[in-house]
Amino acid sequence: MALEIIRKTIDEIDAEMRVLFERRMDCIKAVAEYKYNNDDEIFDQNREERVKEKNLSQLKNKEYAMAYEGFIQELLDSSKVFQKQWINDQKQNKISGNG
């Protein structure tokens, strides 16, 4: 396969992943809202371990396991950062009377 065709395929996959990422982040925002309203902790180590184990066990090509585990960890880390920022913004808005 020519390099240009491979890159075009990667671009198409990236576009699909972007849509899925936004759907995932919409859910992460809903999780943050739930945690804010219920005064829950952002980090749940047991949940994070289950997510990683489940996703790694479903990976068909085990050659990609290390890269996929890093990918999943990055998603989890960015989700925690987003939740923390969103919750902090809500608290700040409440303090300043904007929420």
The count of other CB atoms within 10 Å of the CB of residue 64 is 12
Q: In the structure, what pLDDT confidence band is assigned to residue 97 with cuts at 50, 70 and 90?
A: confident
Q: For residue range 6-55, list pLDDT tens digits in order.
A: 999 999 999 999 999 999 999 999 999 999 999 999 999 999 999 999 99
Show the tokens assigned to 60.
């068909």
Rounded to the nearest integer, the mean pLDDT of the chain is: 96
Residue range 63-75: mean pLDDT, rounded? 98
* pTM exceeds cut of 0.95: no
Do the Cβ atoms of 82 and 25 come closer than 8 Å?
yes
